[in-house]
Structure 1
Amino acid sequence: MAPNDSAETGGTRGTAVGRRKAARYIVPVAVAGVAAATIGLVPALASTGDPDLPKITAQELIEKIAASDTERLSGTVRISTDLGIPSLGGLADAFVQGGGGGESADPQERMTELASGTHTLRVAADGPDKQRLSIMDNASEYSLIRNGDEVWAYDSGSDQAYHATADKSARDSGGKSAHPAPDGVPATPKELAEQLLEAAGPTTSVTVDGTARIAGRDAYKLVVKPKQSGSTIGSATVAVDAENGVPLKFTLLASAGGKPVVDAGFTDVDFGKPDASSFTFTPPKGTEVTEADDAKAQREQGKGPDKGLGKGLDGLFPGVGQSGAGDRGAGDTKIIGEGWNAIAEISTPGGTGLPSKASDEVPAEAQQFLDSLGDKVTGKFGSGTVFKTRLVNALMTDDGKVYVGAVTKDALVEAANNAS
């Protein structure tokens, strides 16, 4: 067993991980979408026995993750998510399509499925321009396939396909994986771990807490915890392959306790070269194909899923790693506080709050979902609604201000009062 070794994340600035910029948010209904993005496509899972491995410090383990150059793998991933919200099911359509209904192969829409329940994925990668991810169902399969410039998504249940061409900036991303998932969504365990570590700062404790056996591989356990009280996040544990530095397991716990919010990981993994056929796809005869440009145009017209649903860990950690309060983020976002207790203050376009039930601006299914999440609150700021999950909470005031972060409801109300 490796002993508990600690490291302040301030000591990691020489590595590939660094401070992150202010997060972007889409509110209020993107609370669920942000949670889906945080899950991304991360892997992790069950262990059998704790191997006896050489001692390693947290700093050394972080550097091992950053230095890992493994680009070939294939395996099975099992993801379980419990955000404390009702199962999205068909409600995703109500949010992202305005209740339009119907199936779609657009990854901007389909990745929200990972926001709740348990899912089995098959993953494969062969370098930065060949990846495949398949969400397995009892009677169907949804696959995302990247092969060079070509990106395909296919839903065998509805016989729908989505086609895109990878842009040059993604191909020339300096070695970063230009994966086929929605913007900002980590598509590998390494990407998720790096985002987590980039989110960490002086308010974070990082330790090595023993070893584990994951999918037949020896691994070290890296534990990231907030030093501050008041965050809804308890800890995140990343099991790191002892040989090649690839993260194999990711577990996210809420400070309130209970089962993991996210428990995702490899049940089997192979670091050999995947079969080339894994990355080829031809739409079956009769398949309805949607081009990415058409889907984008629909989103811009308010007819399709909002691109803001894929923002990685940005929504979970609004100001972690940033020094000082009042930093301006993207657009009209202001960061209040610092570290894990940071709260993003957002001014909504037009300065209006949630539409009323009588306005018919929100589909009935979406309104029901919002009501199930929301608590009415009042204070010096006026009145508003707090939308809650086990991890991310958001206060939307009736005059159109939004306060969101991985903090308690009381912290959001206090922030709104202080800003009044």
Structure 2
Amino acid sequence: MAPYEPEQDTSEVGELRVGRRKAARYVVPVAVAGVAAATIGLVPALATSGDPDLPKVTAQELIEKITASDTQRLSGNVKISTDLGLPSMGGMAGGFAGAGGGADRGDGEGGGGSAADPKSKLMELASGTHTLRVAADGPDKQKVSVLEDAAEYSLIHNGDEVWAYDSASNEAYHAKGFQVSGDKGEAEPPKGVPATPKDFAEQALKAVDDTTSVKVDGTAQVAGRDAYRLVVEPKQSGSTVGRITVAVDAETGTPLKFTLTPASGGAAVIDAGFTKVDFGKPSASTFDFAPPKGAKVTEADEHAAEGRDFRDKAKDGKEFRDEDLNDLKVIGEGWTAIAELRLPGGQGLPTAGSGDVPPEAQKLLDSLGDQVNGKFGSGTVFSTRLINALVTDDGKVYAGAVTKDALVKAANAAH
């Protein structure tokens, strides 16, 4: 493999910031059923092979290439796996919803929820391996299908309409009007949820600052296309993030594969990549949808009203507000930043014994919890391979992509 440019000098960080902000404007507009932190462990032989001989580029030039990329049309398959070290979320999602009176359940009982509701479906992608079929034709037409063994879930945005369909339950979810949801319950398809390598890369580039190392580290082939490997690493110690690698298409500048490796080593926490990609215009019929005969159709505005009714009852008629996240502040900066806030009521975690937590949730908490002590008193650290959170017995929460020791140190310093 030919040598590439060394680590990006910090004097160029300002230009990198400008580059990644511009790059954010050119994200492939795929309306997704994705995960807050979706990932894949791609089989290397399937996704990547060989080291193509490409002209040398610097990290700055490669980011500029991403910036210049304006890929509005594509289709293909993306394989995604999540390895956060969490138990499988598929069965738990229903348990949590059931504990909430059924407002968001997909069984058609209680609150009349829909199995096709994207908000319910996202939970299932938080663990395991999934294959997505994606297509985009500009900002007004996108489709993502989650392919399962004997079923398929599709989310389609076409003009001012969004349809979601779950073939396993023969249920559909319909949102008319592509706008941000608010107090009036307007429909909104999921946004800010990454599902393609481009989505993940946009988030990673936002982290580029003087706490970050950025470099080009060789080449690769992804989905049969030549690509450069852009590597982003924290310079600070204490972060759970080891490195982020983005394979960037040499011709179009489109990210083809995204890998987040934890500082602890082992399998990738996030690794999302195309196994097949075509930059041609998808057929217009790709974005057409009509619910099959006999399908149960839930309208988004009706479902939003039901959800509000349930939330009002749960809060004794009081509405949750941002102020309920008391004293939210950020400790530190960069990759080791920690969010500090106080739980409503100023108390620690409720327990199943008090009747405030469903058994399914208690099992999850117990499986993740680790008791700790310090100047702050005592508390519980809930750990994943990427995000950790310390909840103290007096009701404070410290959370971030940092180690348990970093959380304890922050809690001690705050007392």
Q: Same fold (TM over 0.5)?
A: yes
Of the three residues 235, 241, 245, the one matched with 1:237 is 245
SS at match of 1:402: strand
1: CA distance, partners of 2:403 / 2:162: 40
Q: Which amino acid aligns with 1:257?
A: G
Cα 1:169/1:361, change in 2 over 3 Å? closer
1:382 to 374, 377, 401: 377
Correspondence list, 1:189-338, <5 A: 189-302=197-310, 332-338=327-333
Find the aligned partners of 2:394 and 2:22 in 1 and give their Cα distance.
36
- In 1, Cα distance between equivalents of 2:149 and 2:207: 37
TM-score, normalising length from structure 1? 0.83
Q: Secondary structure in 2 aligned to 1:69?
A: coil
Aligned-pair distance for 1:92?
1.7
- 1: CA distance between counterparts of 2:22 and 2:198? 15
State the partner residue of 1:156.
Answer: 167
How far apart are 1:274 and its partner, in Å?
0.6
Give deviations 1:32-75, integer Å, cap 9, x for gaps.
Answer: xxx93122899997212110001111011111112211110000
- 1:37 is aligned to 36
Q: How many residues were matched structurally?
A: 374
Give the drift of 1:94. Answer: 2.8
Report the aligned-residue RMSD. Answer: 2.8
Rounded Cα–Cα distance in structure 2 between residues aligned with 1:2 and 1:205: 17
- Confirm or deny that 1:364 pairs with 2:372: no
- Asked if the contact 1:66–1:194 (Cα under 8 Å) also holds between the matched residues in 2, the reply is no
- For residue 98 of structure 1, report the CA deviation from its aligned partner: 2.7
Q: Percent identity?
A: 63
Change (3 A) 1:252 1:96: farther
Aligned twin of 1:315: none
From the CA coordinates, give the structure whose radius of gyration is larger.
2
Contact 1:98/1:303 (8 A) holds in 2: no
SS of match in other structure, 1:362: coil
What's the offset of the Cα at 1:88?
A: 1.1
Question: How far 1:189 sits from its partner (Å)?
Answer: 2.6
* 8 Å CA contact 1:347, 1:400 repeated in 2: yes
Change beyond 3 A, Cα 1:331–1:128: farther
What TM-score, normalized to structure 2?
0.84
Higher relative contact order, structure no. (Cα contacts within 8 Å, ≥ 6 residues apart): 1
Unaligned runs of 5+ in 2: 25-33, 108-114, 182-187, 313-322
Letter in 1 for 2:346: G
8 Å contact from structure 2 (residues 81, 129) kept in 1: yes
CA drift of 1:97 comes to 5.0
Counterparts of 1:19 and 1:361, CA distance in 2: 45
Question: Per the alignment, do residues 380 and 331 of structure 1 end up closer, same or farther by CA in structure 2, a change over 3 Å counting?
Answer: closer
Residue 140 of structure 1 deviates from its aligned partner by: 0.4
Q: 1: CA distance between counterparts of 2:180 and 2:369?
A: 40
For residue 127 of structure 1, report the CA deviation from its aligned partner.
Answer: 0.4
Alignment pair present for 1:147 and 2:158: yes
State which drifts further: 283-292 or 266-275. 283-292
SS in 1 for 2:21: coil
Q: Is the 8 A contact 2:39 2:83 kept in 1?
A: no
* Equivalent residue letter for 2:17: R
Cα distance, 1:187 vs structure 2 = 4.3
Query: C-alpha separation between the residues in 1 aligned to 2:22 and 2:383?
Result: 29
Please name the residue that 1:51 is paired with: 52
Structure 1 228/64 Cα, relative in aligned 2: closer, same or farther at 3 Å? same
The alignment status of 1:355 with 2:356, answered yes or no, reads no
15, 19, 26: which one aligns with 1:15: 19
1:352-406 deviation per Cα after TM superposition (whole angstroms, max 9, x unaligned): 3211221212111111111101112222212221110011001111222111001
Q: Compare 289-298 and 104-113 and name the one that shifted more.
A: 289-298
- Are the structure 2 counterparts of residues 261 and 95 from structure 1 closer, same or farther at C-alpha, using a change threshold of 3 Å? same
> Any conservation in 2 of the 1:51–1:212 contact (CA below 8 Å)?
yes
* Shift in Å, 1:2: 5.5
Which residue is equivalent to 1:409?
Answer: 404
1:24 maps to which residue? none
Query: 2:286 is aligned with what amino acid?
Result: S
How far apart are 1:167 and its partner, in Å? 3.3
Partner of 2:65: 64
Worse overlay, 198-207 or 180-189: 180-189
